[in-house]
A and B are shown apart, each in its own frame.
Chain A
Amino acid sequence: MINWVPFTVSLSLAIWTTVILVVVCFPLAWVFARSKCRWIPFVESFLSLPLVLPPTVLGFYLLISLSPFSPVGAFLKSTFGLTLVFSFPGIVAASCVSALPFMLGALRTGISSVPENLLEASWTLGKSKLETILRIVLPNMKTALLTGIITTFAHTLGEFGVVLMIGGSIPGATKTVSIAIFERVEAQDLSSAHAYAIALVVISYAGTYALNRLQRAGNRRNG
């Protein structure tokens, strides 16, 4: 009998990570897309590191920096009573770092694709900057936003190395589907491993199919 709890952990992780990254990355992507500051390429390259670093390297440094003995971990523990390592909030934080380049890249591309004069036209029509973002920018970067959401969600769903390093494998808390597959294979329970893996394949395929359709629709709209 398959234990579905790792699926709920993986789905919760993917949803939390995606929502947090949309909120965090939008202003960052805005600055990266619109600002001419010469330091931006350096910051952008640093934030893209998770794309090229091995997950174990990223996970190792996150484990060091978030442990209760580090300045950040000690601050979180003393101020909020929060211990991030080997906890669900910890794997959410780690996944946010790991998936950040996916969301940031998609949003940056989307924001750059909205011509500056649409914003200016909206301002001359009396609309505030916030209203312009909500009613002009977001609808015109819908494809990029959905691309960011789908790639972040799918990447987080399949997250393994970083999550294992930070969260270990605590059932119901940090044990995701990827980790469950690894454990089932180690335990020679190949039928359960197959079931988990096939479910992930189906979900991932649905994600990439949706992404493909969105991009084709976007290309058609743009001629």
Chain B
Amino acid sequence: MISYRIVKTFQRLGHKKTPPFRLETERRIESGVFLGISGPSGCGKSTLLRCLAGLEHPDDGFIVDGKNTWYDSTSELFLPPQKRGVGFVFQDYALFPHLTVLGNVAYATGNRSKAKELLELTRLSEHAAHFPGELSGGQRQRTALARALARNPDLLLLDEPLSALDEALRLELGNEIRRIQRETGITAVMVSHSATELARLCDQTIMLDGGFAKAKTHSLVSRPVSPVPYPPKPSSSSRKSAEQAISTSAL
């Protein structure tokens, strides 16, 4: 189970002359749940994922994975990405161009047989010796997914993984992501512009919205996969009271 409360003020890309944008969001994600986050461009979807991964430092809040705290502003604890159990699928996949498909996955595992198993899971075995430049968009996406799963992460983060694909491939690979998430039972968070796509794939869906001034979360869909769905916002900004509010509240 992952609990977080993230507050971050940032300047949106391409909007240097507008006032800084404030992202303020919190949630508890039960184990094995596939959470979808939608919202308009620049509302902080990717920033939220990057904060969860440890690639960006929130201004305030906490991130707790079960008994492990990844970030806590009150105690100034901030674990770097290397020490968090996170797998990250980047929007443009960020595959290492000098390594083959097998090399990309084995880089993460350090174990080629485990890497081969992941290639089987993602149906990439026949492309193991290909370099990223030789792959189609869908194959790259599956390679990125296999690589992100290689360390057996507690949390899989997917930053618009389908945005670069055509409609037919989006449908096919969206289903593929869903199948792999179910087979591995991993807790996952996927960000997308398309709320309908997330509603189709995810157990729970929320929307980050706030008129480009302040993002807050709204629950859109919640299937009965998770025993405890989205909790309301805690009254206090402190971590302790927020955690307490999350653990005691249930809709």
Contact of A125 among B54, B97, B107, B133 (CB under 8 A): B107
Query: Interface size bucket, A side?
Result: 10 to 19
Residues of chain A having any CB pair with chain B under 8 Å:
115, 117-118, 120-128, 135-136, 139-140, 223
Cα A197 to Cα B202 in complex, Å, equals 72
Q: Which residue of A lies closest to B144 (CB)?
A: A121
The residues in B between 67 and 108 inclusive whose CB is less than 8 angstroms from any CB of A are 80-82, 84, 86-88, 90, 92, 94-98, 107-108
Contact A121/B96 with A126-B151, A135-B107 known, Cβ cut-off 8 Å: yes
Residues of A within 8 A of B147 (CB): 121, 125
Residues of B within 8 A of A139 (CB): 98
The secondary structure that dominates the B interface is loop
Cα A121 to Cα B82 in complex, Å, equals 10
Q: Which of A125, A135, A223 has the most CB of B within 10 A?
A: A125
A140 touches B98 (CB 8 A): yes
A125 touches B92 (CB 8 A): no
The residues in B between 182 and 239 inclusive whose CB is less than 8 angstroms from any CB of A are none
Residues of chain B having any CB pair with chain A under 8 Å:
53-55, 80-82, 84, 86-88, 90, 92, 94-98, 107-108, 133, 147-148, 150-151
Contact A118/B94 with A123-B55, A125-B150, A135-B107 known, Cβ cut-off 8 Å: yes
Q: What would be 25 A-B contacts, judged by CB atoms less than 8 Å apart?
A: A115-B94, A117-B90, A120-B81, A120-B88, A120-B90, A120-B94, A121-B88, A121-B90, A121-B94, A123-B54, A124-B53, A124-B55, A124-B81, A124-B84, A124-B87, A124-B88, A125-B147, A125-B150, A126-B108, A127-B107, A136-B96, A139-B98, A140-B97, A140-B98, A223-B133
